Amino acid sequence: MGIATDFILLVVSAFFSGLLMQRLGQPLILGYILTGIAFGPYSGGFALTSVHEIELLAEIGVALLLFALGLEFSLKDLKEVKKISLIGTPIQILLTIGLGYGIGQWMGWDAKSSLWLGALVSLSSTMVLLKTLMNQGWLGTLSSKVMVGMLIVQDLAVVPLIILLPMLNEPSLGWIPLEIAILKTVVFLAAMILFGTRLLPKIMRYIAHLGSRELFLLAITAIGLGVGYLTYLVGLSFPFGAFIAGMVLSESDYGHQALSDIIPVRDLFGLLFFASVGMLFNPGFLVEHWQQVLMLVLIVSLGKGFIFALLARIFKYGNVVPLAVGMGLFQVGEFSFVLAQVGVSTNSISHEVYSLVLTTAVITMFLTPLVSGQTARLYALRKRWFKHEALDSKNMPKSGLHNHVIIVGGGRVGFRIAQVLKRLHVPLLIIELDQLRVERAQKSETPVVYGDASHEVVLEAAEISSARLLIITSPEVMITQTVVERARKKNSAIQVVARAPGVEFLEEFKKLNISEVVIPEFEAGLEMARKALMHLHIPAAKIQHYSESLRQDLFASLFNENEEEVIVEQLQTAEEQFDLQWMLIKPGCLLEGKTIGEAKIRTKTATSIVGVIRDEKLDPSPDHNFCLQAHDRVAIIGTDNARETFFQLTCPALK
């Protein structure tokens, strides 16, 4: 079966490797890379027969990832990081080239090979970093925006590097090839802007109106890969074209749906990319040159990470951002493979340099999820070591906070909770790690602490010891467990309201002694059922009774009801006997044209009419001479059965 067999073996093996990594608490991409190493031509084991074809398919994975990135990306998002992206990234590339040149000279290489080494290690991995950020849940934070902005500029820099570096062999060619490449890029961007604003919306509108999900998925995939291929034909980067296509499509009305549909395809081809990276790894070369590889990995990782962190600091990014950027972008990227192949094909670098850079790149890619995952821990340690450095807090009352509510997470849910509490004048504070959300809270004059709530120093800044309620909006069980345990150390009496991802996690929340648990899917189901029952004219009190019964059935076995909850339940039961409900007098019903006295409503239905709305005017106390007309809205009081009897009188079908 050829490549089909190889593809099946890779997918099945990657599944089990990914499953193992998941059980070990490691990123899935590590399992994919290990799968590639196991099936690579240098492993000495069962090598695939279609390695080159797999590498070609992996290029689609890179393009689809950047296409999806473009769908999530907005030029508005780049505004806050434009300085470090457009100015800082070229500086980083030059500094890293200088670092690589120094390493090459120290290793006894000639000037040309040393410059190539610097250029090869100056690029970071967009693919690995994006997948790492997705797995860690950091995508969308200020740190991720800084990193993505710098990676985009790095990817753009690949084109001039591919043109400039081979010119070192023949300096007499001059700058004409670079000028041509810049002109191509400008023309391509102008064409994409025209295509995206004029033609693309019409195409997507037509496809969407056909109502076929398959055609919609095929259309967005064709747009991403097709535009990427066009950029390749004109001499630019295939993945760069896919990114621009995604970015243009994101500005349309169909960007969100396109992103949700393309994710499964992206992940499948992304698997092939990481497996192909593993296939390029030569264990024999590593064993033979382990000292050189180890030295290069250490120097490049530390030096490059320091350069990124320093630039983030210079461009006035504080808190965790410099550390996150340095620990996220230290690796050697996938475009270094492309650049290295150009170097070999033009006889600019030797196969030894190619293998050394390739091995270094694979190792640093493999280390990226592990190193980046330690960012929060190192940041917490730094806070302990430098306690004079205050946490970034905004809008804190001068008198401090006492008996307040702490909301962990300032996203859509947390911010909405904060707005409700503010209207009720309840003292509150938000803890948030996303800089954009911090800024939003700051603009709304809501007290906010920038930091990770799982760290004790952050909880101390939020004055957890004097708080009365802790609301955790994150659906991640591990985050909730950590936050609750740390909070209880400082305030053992604090009440906790938490969000659970599903019913199956209720036992875990019971162990944490959480006061209230909210399951969004369960609550959404109840609300939809409530709306449906209202349209079926089921009395409101009965709907409320059934909803509360379902909640009690779900939570009663896990959470003991306190005395106040029992009293509230009893009051709600009593309220059912004296519930007000609005009914519509329909044309042709038995009540139309009759007075309240003539209809003998109290005698026949055991209900009382306490109000009538007619022509948008309310009669709050109609007497027995009040004549009911079609389209009147009548407020009645009575038991469930009484209201049901009255409802039958409002229906024309009962004549």
Token pair 């980067």 in the structure block, residue: 237
Whether the predicted pLDDT of 52 surpasses 80: no
Q: Which residue has the higher pLDDT, 274 or 389?
A: 274
The SS3 of residue 386 is: coil
Span between the terminal Cα atoms of the chain, in Å = 74
Whether the predicted pLDDT of 366 surpasses 70: yes
Token pair 């239905």 in the structure block, residue: 605
What pLDDT was estimated at residue 655?
A: 46
Across residues 426-439, what is the average pLDDT?
81
Strand partners for 469: 405, 495
Query: Which has the closest alpha carbon to 66: 200, 219, 240?
Result: 240
- 304 confidence band (pLDDT: 50, 70, 90): very high
DSSP 199: I
Neighbours of 409 (CB within 10 A): 24
Across residues 2-16, what is the average pLDDT?
80
Task: Determine the Cα–Cα distance for residues 342 and 327; give it in Å rounded to an integer.
Answer: 28
Task: Determine the Cα–Cα distance for residues 250 and 262; give it in Å rounded to an integer.
Answer: 13
* 261 in Cβ contact with 213 (< 8 Å): yes
- Residue 508 corresponds to which tokens in the numbers above? 């875990």
Q: How many CA atoms lie within 13 A of 243 on its CB side?
A: 20
Task: Determine the Cα–Cα distance for residues 116 and 118; give it in Å rounded to an integer.
Answer: 5
DSSP code per residue over 225-292: HHHHHHHHHTTS-HHHHHHHHHHHHHTSTTHHHHHHHHHHHHHHHHHHHHHHHHHT--HHHHHHTHHH
* 132 in Cβ contact with 174 (< 8 Å): no
* 623 in Cβ contact with 598 (< 8 Å): no
What is the enclosing helix (H) or strand (E) of 201? helix 200-210
Q: pLDDT, tens digit, for every residue of 206-253?
A: 887 777 878 888 888 888 888 888 877 877 667 777 877 887 777 677
Query: Which has the closest alpha carbon to 337: 32, 59, 69?
Result: 59
What pLDDT was estimated at residue 307?
A: 95
* 35 in Cβ contact with 10 (< 8 Å): yes
Task: Determine the Cα–Cα distance for residues 248 and 242; give it in Å rounded to an integer.
Answer: 10
Across residues 122-143, what is the average pLDDT?
76
- Residue 281 corresponds to which tokens in the numbers above? 């790894």
Interacting residues of 592 by C-beta distance below 8 A, sequence separation 6+: 585, 586, 628, 629, 630
User: Of the given ranges (96-100, 457-461, 469-473, 548-552), which has the lowest mean pLDDT?
Assistant: 548-552
Neighbours of 141 (CB within 10 A): 21
Pairing of strands 608-614, 617-619: antiparallel
- 388 confidence band (pLDDT: 50, 70, 90): very low
- 298 confidence band (pLDDT: 50, 70, 90): very high
Q: Strands, DSSP E only, in 83-230?
A: none
All structural domains of the chain, each given as residue ranges with its CATH number in brackets, are 3-381 (1.20.1530.20), 393-518 (3.40.50.720), 577-655 (3.30.70.1450)
- 387 confidence band (pLDDT: 50, 70, 90): very low
DSSP code per residue over 407-419: EE--SHHHHHHHH
- Residue 103 corresponds to which tokens in the numbers above? 């390493």
Strand partners for 408: 431, 472
Task: Determine the Cα–Cα distance for residues 651 and 648; give it in Å rounded to an integer.
Answer: 5
Whether the predicted pLDDT of 65 surpasses 60: yes
Task: Determine the Cα–Cα distance for residues 328 and 311; give it in Å rounded to an integer.
Answer: 14
* 189 in Cβ contact with 244 (< 8 Å): yes
Q: Which residue has the higher pLDDT, 308 or 188?
A: 308
Judged on CB neighbours under 10 Å (0-12, 13-18, 19+), 600 is exposed
What is the enclosing helix (H) or strand (E) of 637? strand 633-638
DSSP code per residue over 66-135: HHHHHHH--HHHHHTTHHIIIIIHHHHHHHHHHHHHHHHHHTT--HHHHHHHHHHHT---HHHHHHHHHH
94, amino acid identity: L
Q: How many CA atoms lie within 13 A of 358 on its CB side?
A: 24
92, amino acid identity: Q
* 504 in Cβ contact with 478 (< 8 Å): no
Task: Determine the Cα–Cα distance for residues 312 and 80; give it in Å rounded to an integer.
Answer: 13
Q: pLDDT, tens digit, for every residue of 466-497?
A: 899 999 998 878 788 888 888 988 888 899 99
What pLDDT was estimated at residue 654?
A: 47
- 386 confidence band (pLDDT: 50, 70, 90): very low
Q: pLDDT, tens digit, for every residue of 91-120?
A: 999 999 999 999 999 988 888 889 999 999
What pLDDT was estimated at residue 47?
A: 65
Neighbours of 305 (CB within 10 A): 20
> Which residues in 388-403 are b (16+ Cβ under 10 Å) and which e?
eeebbbbeeeeeebee
Across residues 492-504, what is the average pLDDT?
85
Backbone angles phi, psi at 428, to 5 degrees: -150, 170
Task: Determine the Cα–Cα distance for residues 556 and 213; give it in Å rounded to an integer.
Answer: 42
Q: pLDDT, tens digit, for every residue of 594-644?
A: 998 888 888 888 888 888 998 888 888 888 899 999 889 998 888 777 888
* Percentage of the chain lying above the pLDDT 90 cut: 14
Task: Label residue 35 left, alpha or beta by phi (over 0 means left) and psi (-120 to 50 means alpha).
Answer: alpha
Task: Determine the Cα–Cα distance for residues 431 and 607; give it in Å rounded to an integer.
Answer: 51
The mean predicted confidence, pLDDT, of the chain is 79
- Residue 289 corresponds to which tokens in the numbers above? 């040159």
CA 403 to chain CA centroid, nearest Å? 33
